């Protein structure tokens, strides 16, 4: 491993409030503080204003109701002091929130610049091929750090929403994206260590179990590997024992997806953060994986060569059979259609909960009369 050293001093060193305010003002002038960043702040501000107004109204009402012979009663004064304290706390919380978010943005931007990277506040509905990027609505990548650490990469936090009303849910993820040297078959490594109850996968998508491939050694203790049917030999070529060891040692706590010419590491905690330890882990993991990705660049899908040969074969004329095109040239770069995406499946645990839920609903109808 060549070793990737990051300068993380900008994440922790003291910063000037004046510099933070100037940086925030520049972002506003450039139109970069938009989308979910402004939306979240707006919701907090409006909520705080409404809360303060409600507290003031309650204070006035209680002061008047508890007056004694035209004079404020001790209880009324106590209520007033209490509500004043609540207002002060709300204002203080808003100040801390705004200042904290602004300082975080400033630190991340300086950290990115110090390491030859670029920081972007937010990207709405990022057009990426990973499994988490086509789900739900209000999709947003925030604190996106892009650049190169040996190879092109991006690190960001990500969220999307599903449901509506009382059933609305916000799903939060974070990812590291690495660009590969060549498109590869769709392969998913579902980390065993972050699974939920009864070993239920935390991934938002379930894949057909007939696509699961068992590998040698202890790999299955750390990851469940899924690859398209017919690509088992290709997966074994890509995940040699030394490659498996790198993933076990460095990425066993996250889920991995290989799709097209991208490799994604998925986590349910923030990865674009002001915590230096997280960035050091990212650098170490990227370095360890990148050291073995070079051998993947030689992979070619032989199915594409066969398809090209069939398409290029001249038509048969009369009784003379045309000679097939020889497969002496290397296969073209790319992945045949059957290997580009895994086939979706369903979780039997989810099915059991659905059946139990329907059964309970029927029982309440039958015996609730």
Tens digits of per-residue pLDDT, 254-279?
999 999 999 999 999 999 999 999 99
Using CA atoms, how far apart are residues 242 and 71, in angstroms rounded to an integer? 83
What pLDDT does residue 335 have?
A: 96
What pLDDT does residue 308 have?
A: 72
Is 68:11 a contact under the CB 8 Å cutoff?
Answer: no
Using CA atoms, how far apart are residues 231 and 365, in angstroms rounded to an integer? 49
| Coil/strand/helix, residue 335 | coil
What pLDDT does residue 182 have?
A: 95
Is 35:122 a contact under the CB 8 Å cutoff?
Answer: yes
The tokens 């050291």 sit on which residue?
291
Is 213:225 a contact under the CB 8 Å cutoff?
Answer: yes
* Residues lower than pLDDT 70 in the chain: 1-2, 34-84, 86-99, 198, 310-329, 346-363, 366-369
In 3D space, the residue among 327, 12, 288, 270 whose CA is nearest the CA of residue 155 turns out to be: 270
Using CA atoms, how far apart are residues 243 and 295, in angstroms rounded to an integer? 10
- Write out the DSSP string of 282-317: HHHHHHHHHHHHGGGGG---HHHHHHHHHHHSPPPB
- 332 phi/psi in degrees, rounded to 5: -70, 160
């Amino acid at each position: 491993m060549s070793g990737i050293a990051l300068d993380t001093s900008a994440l922790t060193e003291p910063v000037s409030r004046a510099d933070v305010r100037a940086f925030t003002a520049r972002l506003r002038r450039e139109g970069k503080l938009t989308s979910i960043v402004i939306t979240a702040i707006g919701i907090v501000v409006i909520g705080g204003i409404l809360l303060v107004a409600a507290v003031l109204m309650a204070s006035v009402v209680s002061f008047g109701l508890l007056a004694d012979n035209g004079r404020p009663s001790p209880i009324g004064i106590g209520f007033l002091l209490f509500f004043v304290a609540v207002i002060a706390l709300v204002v203080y919380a808003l100040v801390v929130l705004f200042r904290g978010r602004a300082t975080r943005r400033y630190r991340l931007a300086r950290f990115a610049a110090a390491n030859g990277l670029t920081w972007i506040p937010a990207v709405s509905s990022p057009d990426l091929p990973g499994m988490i990027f086509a789900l739900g609505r209000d999709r947003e990548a925030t604190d996106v750090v892009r650049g190169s650490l040996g190879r092109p990469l991006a690190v960001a936090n990500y969220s999307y929403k599903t449901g509506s009303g009382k059933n609305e849910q916000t799903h939060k993820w974070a990812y590291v994206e690495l660009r590969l040297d060549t498109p590869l078959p769709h392969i998913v490594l579902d980390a065993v260590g972050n699974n939920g109850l009864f070993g239920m996968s935390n991934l938002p998508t379930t894949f057909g179990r007939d696509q699961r491939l068992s590998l040698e050694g202890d790999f299955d203790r750390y990851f469940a590997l899924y690859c398209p049917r017919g690509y088992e030999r290709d997966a074994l070529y890509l995940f040699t024992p030394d490659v498996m060891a790198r993933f076990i040692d460095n990425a066993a706590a996250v889920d991995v997806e290989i799709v097209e010419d991208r490799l994604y590491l998925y986590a349910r905690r923030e990865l674009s953060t002001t915590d230096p330890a997280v960035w050091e882990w990212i650098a170490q993991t990227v370095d360890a994986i990148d050291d073995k990705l070079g051998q993947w660049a030689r992979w070619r899908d032989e199915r594409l060569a066969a398809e090209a040969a069939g398409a290029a074969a001249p038509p048969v004329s009369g009784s003379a059979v045309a000679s097939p095109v020889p497969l002496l040239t290397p296969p073209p770069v790319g992945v045949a259609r059957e290997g580009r995406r895994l086939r979706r499946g369903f979780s039997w645990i989810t099915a059991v909960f659905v059946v139990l839920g329907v059964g309970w609903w029927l029982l309440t109808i039958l015996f609730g009369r």
